Amino acid sequence: MSLKFALNDGTRIPWLGFGTGTALYSRDAAASVKAAIEAGVSHLDGAQMYGNEDSLGQGIKDSRIARDKVYITTKLVESPADTIKNTLKTSLKKLGVDYVDLFLIHTPVTALKEGKLKQWWKEMEEIKKEGLSKSIGVSNFTVENLQLVLEEATVIPAVNQIELHPYVWDTASHIYDFCKEKGIVIESFGALSPIFRASGGPIDPVLASAAERLTKESGSPVSPGQVLFKWLIQKGVVAVTTSSKVSRIKESLATASLPDLTSEEISAIETEGSKWHKRFFGKRIYNEA
């Protein structure tokens, strides 16, 4: 049984999602999605902004997986030209499904600029009520953004998807703590950035040491990437990642069954990570642009 986390609305979300942004942005994702599903992934993460919901849907169809065996996420475009409900209905047609499992406000930027964040969330609540999405949530939201939504929300966001890895832990930890307090699950994107986008940083020796210990303990090779995923799992965080290599997808999925990191290793990851702040996405949201 694959690892799933409980959401605050009674549903469950697989811990690992295959993302169709970044490397697949505006590209045909069908073959990659099909390969990911065949490798064992059941959670697919898309977005209107990515421009490939139709091929995400095609990949699911091509895999012949039953609808109830796959968890589908999509996200609202930053500046919707229609009502939120109608944009989601368009997405459902592209995806070839009657509902998604999770629908997120992709960024708060436009809603904040127009003073419509609370109104947008009311529309999201209607979407959930009508069953167009089983769960609703947000993405790239700060504590302040969440507090604004929660002032009038009748449904607490199930998820907040943010860039989360050790090199943003210095600022992301207070979002993590706030969400934990409110029962909002954090989803991480860019989790492997310390390896692929910022190698040579202070966290490298910590990851190498933990990987070596886990390799000995598990009897099979453990990579630094798996150490990062294990850190997220132990913090109750969902990981969204992308890879063109089936072997890497299988390696990622195998992380859930590895022995746990020690409290000392977790502390070292966060301490060393906080020594070097490196954000790679959405800098304007955090006034870092």
DSSP-derived 3-state class of residue 285 = helix
Residue in this structure with the two tokens 């694959």, named with its chain if needed:
2
Q: What is the C-alpha end-to-end distance of the chain, expressed in Å?
A: 42
Q: Determine the Cα angle at 178 with ends 175 and 180, to 5°.
A: 105
Tokens found for residue 54: 């139709």
CB 135 within 8 A of CB 73: no
Catalytic annotation present for 50:
yes
Cα gap 40→1, rounded to integer Å: 11
> Are the CB atoms for 202 and 170 separated by under 8 Å?
no
Residue type, 240: V
Q: Was 106 annotated as part of a binding site?
A: yes
* Selected catalytic residue, list 25, 50, 99, 176: 50
Instruction: Look at strands 185-189 and 238-241 and give their pairing.
Output: parallel
Residues belonging to the active site: 50
Residues in the annotated binding site for substrate: 106
